[in-house]
Structure 1
Amino acid sequence: MTDPLSTPTRIWTPSRVLVTRSAADHPHSAEILRRCEAAGVEDIEMLTGDRLTGLRGENERQTYALAKKTLAVVVAPPSARKPQPIPPSADWRIDLARGCPAHCQYCYLAGSLSGPPVTRVYANLDEVLDGIPTHAGRGAVTSGTLERGHEGTTFELSCYTDPLGIEHVTGSVAEAVRRVGAGDYGDGVSLRFTTKFDDVDELLTIDHGRRTRVRMSVNADEVAHRFEGGTARMPARITALRRLALAGYRVGLTIAPVMPVPDWREQYGRLLADVAEALRDVPDLDLTVEIITHRFTESSKEILLSWYPATKLEMDESVRSAKRTKFGGVKYVYPKEAMAEMRSWFLDELDRVLPDAQFLYWT
């Protein structure tokens, strides 16, 4: 019987690609189409307009399945090209794409993006990256701060996708890393992104100038194996983290979403020990840690249950605490006592196992 932990990561390749009329005029579209054709995509449709059609099936499950097989090449509108503050992660957020090919049953995007969960990559990459020089030197998270000022002004790549998960058919991350590494936008800026994928080969060959931090999204075995479909296995992610660190990248852990599953201390303890062993002999290691606990909203729960009706993910409002967001909504988080217990354990364990790591935040 095959050991699921040893199964190679299957790189996501869309079954079909839709290119809007406006997107077809941008140079980066040619690179996207070149990569898609090289990956064996045969169903590539050049649309006569900018409206995406044919995205819905007969029910929500069919719509979800169809959307997850589709890559749409579109133009980012002006509203999506303006960098937005994104504390506590970075100074600013810029989006290379929206939508994700993974099948995480707690999907952060559920309720955040409207319509079928199609992955949309932006063809007007030049315009998207033009937000970097206009916001360099501004920001309140890293820019000018004592704790993280050495990172300069930080730009989070794509909070609405896993950019590495689609990179082999887009090339957007490589181009952004290359430009920032070459100093095209000045010396005082850096990029950062989080991924659950391990296809880092192309990134290892780029002259990144140590101006990009790649963070691996990691979790306890039970959480990752049960709820993170279509992603790299945990050992593969940790190996990719090591390879990136050895290539001189600043790296990080995004431990998320933390869940108090049975034996959570043992499971997360093994995770941290595995990371420590993988990074033990890396020279000039620059490692950060961010920890995010699981939460959900009424709308995200409804969407997730339509996508994953048989999920075992705990989304029971009666055992959670309601927390009002700055926009007036309500999200359900773990009770105060459970949050305090988990936070205390993680901080102690990090100090013991990864003492040189910089802890950034818990939420």
Structure 2
Amino acid sequence: MEFQRLLQIRRIFAQPEALELPRGREIVQRWPDADVVPVENHWNIPELHGDETNVPRWSRIKTEALVLGVKKSLTVKPNGRSADYIAPSTANGCAMACAYCYVPRHKGYSNPVTVFANINQIAAALERHVMKQGIKLEPNQCDPELWVYDIGENSDCSVDALISDNVEDLVGLFRELPTAKLSFATKYVNRDMLAWDHGGHTRIRFSLMPAHLAKSIDVRTSPVAERIAAINDFVDAGYEVHVNFSPVVITETWLDDWRELLQQLDAALTPAAKAQLAAEVIFLTHNEGLHQVNLGWHPQAEKVLWRPDLQESKTSSNGFSNVRYRSGSKGRYVRQLTAMIAEITPYCRVRYAF
């Protein structure tokens, strides 16, 4: 089973306060044969974090280790791109292993899923924030009518839903909030979610890229063809479904590859799916620290991700030193791809591209 391929949990590193909460106990019961290892801090776990000897075991650790913690900061952050606001995380890390993922930069040399057991506190903080906003009076690129909250900034919610009911709990919360909806991007098709009662207040964003490239850098994810095929089913189930063209990676054949992908998307979608479609376009941002980690477990990916001949250094808003495609060239790349989207999928509104 796909679930078993991604998650064969053998050790659960748990803060004692997480084990005292109902959600923590539920998660432990899902893997009754796993060893439970008490830890003081869900970040600072010597066996998992900051130990470069773990790099060759990158995917195995993701498969076999799970961390249970308590989320201390319940801050809701403004965003304005994917969503109006970023919700406090119910998890961070991922069982999948996309070679360009930024979350490992924060977590040392290993990046298994950390689940936060204090879901009731997180949900209450979100509900208070939504109520304070009142009605959305002016439409924006996030949504014309409702406040949008991204609940998956640091994890993949479709995978998180295999581990606990945290995501479904938030879907149920937003179903009852008339002025807001939740949103998350995903590279995993979790068909159990088709049966959820979401009330039309959940936006799922399936991330897409050319399939042959995804085989190399979207490690352990659902195949791109499966993600495309799922769009119609989730629309039929009442979800709002957008796509993320992300990350866009420049190769010698990138325009031809994206043309083929857009044609596949256009051929697959039903009229109902096309009528509600919108997209975000995000070009690759990479990081030297992650580049060095990847060389230890997946050097083939770095042949396309690390391109000093095309990239320049840039300090991000959070202070990280990243590399991005050179500004003069990147503007041309953005124009080329958005023009192709308008040509092949003219019904697909581009919410933003950078």
**What TM-score, normalized by structure 1, do the two folds share?**
0.85
State the secondary structure of the residue aligned to 2:104: coil
State the AA in 1 paired with 2:70. V
Given that 1:295 and 1:332 are in contact with CA atoms closer than 8 Å, whether structure 2 keeps it comes out as yes
**Counterpart Cα distance in 2 of 1:112 and 1:86:** 20
**Counterpart Cα distance in 2 of 1:8 and 1:28:** 23
State the secondary structure of the residue aligned to 2:205: strand
Given that 1:178 and 1:207 are in contact with CA atoms closer than 8 Å, whether structure 2 keeps it comes out as yes
Q: How many residues align?
A: 345
**Counterpart Cα distance in 2 of 1:217 and 1:345:** 19
Q: Structure 1 residue aligned with 2:15, among 17, 20, 24?
A: 20
Number of the residue aligned with 1:3: none
State the AA in 2 paired with 1:72. V
**Counterpart Cα distance in 2 of 1:130 and 1:343:** 40
**Counterpart Cα distance in 1 of 2:273 and 2:309:** 48
Given that 1:224 and 1:234 are in contact with CA atoms closer than 8 Å, whether structure 2 keeps it comes out as yes
Number of the residue aligned with 1:335: 326
Q: Structure 1 residue aligned with 2:27, among 32, 45, 49?
A: 32
State the AA in 1 paired with 2:198. H
Matches within 5 A, 1:198-209: 198-199=189-190, 201-209=191-199
Number of the residue aligned with 1:231: 221
Q: Structure 2 residue aligned with 1:60, among 54, 59, 68?
A: 54
State the secondary structure of the residue aligned to 2:242: strand
**Counterpart Cα distance in 1 of 2:274 and 2:238:** 8
**Counterpart Cα distance in 2 of 1:360 and 1:348:** 14
Q: Structure 2 residue aligned with 1:145, among 132, 139, 142?
A: 139
Number of the residue aligned with 1:136: 130
**Counterpart Cα distance in 2 of 1:130 and 1:283:** 33
Q: Structure 2 residue aligned with 1:194, among 185, 196, 212?
A: 185
**Counterpart Cα distance in 1 of 2:142 and 2:320:** 31
Given that 2:315 and 2:322 are in contact with CA atoms closer than 8 Å, whether structure 1 keeps it comes out as yes
Change (3 A) 1:264 1:207: same
> Aligned pair 1:43/2:66, yes or no?
no
Number of the residue aligned with 1:91: 84
State the AA in 1 paired with 2:80. P
Given that 2:281 and 2:352 are in contact with CA atoms closer than 8 Å, whether structure 1 keeps it comes out as yes
State the AA in 1 paired with 2:116. Y
State the AA in 1 paired with 2:239. Y
State the AA in 1 paired with 2:291. K
Number of the residue aligned with 2:305: 314
State the secondary structure of the residue aligned to 1:215: strand
- Deviations, residues 95-130 of structure 1 (Å, cap 9, x unaligned): 110111112122222323346313100101111122
Q: Mean Cα displacement is larger for which, 301-310 or 267-276?
A: 301-310
**Counterpart Cα distance in 2 of 1:344 and 1:23:** 48
Number of the residue aligned with 2:246: 256
**Counterpart Cα distance in 2 of 1:327 and 1:47:** 31
Change (3 A) 1:188 1:127: same
Deviation at 1:248, TM superposition (A): 1.1
Change (3 A) 1:75 1:242: same
Change (3 A) 1:207 1:235: same
Change (3 A) 1:31 1:288: farther
The CA RMSD over aligned residues, in Å, is 2.7
Number of the residue aligned with 1:210: 200
Change (3 A) 1:208 1:143: farther
Change (3 A) 1:326 1:281: closer
Given that 1:99 and 1:109 are in contact with CA atoms closer than 8 Å, whether structure 2 keeps it comes out as yes
Q: Structure 2 residue aligned with 1:154, among 138, 148, 162?
A: 148
Q: Structure 2 residue aligned with 1:356, among 341, 347, 351?
A: 347
Change (3 A) 1:133 1:348: same
Uncovered stretches (5+) of structure 2, i.e. residues with no partner: none
**Counterpart Cα distance in 2 of 1:136 and 1:143:** 14
State the secondary structure of the residue aligned to 1:317: coil
Q: Mean Cα displacement is larger for which, 143-152 or 103-112?
A: 143-152
**Counterpart Cα distance in 1 of 2:121 and 2:57:** 31
**What TM-score, normalized by structure 2, do the two folds share?**
0.87
Deviation at 1:53, TM superposition (A): 5.6
State the secondary structure of the residue aligned to 1:166: helix
**Counterpart Cα distance in 2 of 1:362 and 1:116:** 31
> Aligned pair 1:163/2:157, yes or no?
yes
Change (3 A) 1:18 1:218: same
- Deviations, residues 71-114 of structure 1 (Å, cap 9, x unaligned): 1111111x2x2112233111221211011111212222232334
**Counterpart Cα distance in 2 of 1:338 and 1:58:** 35
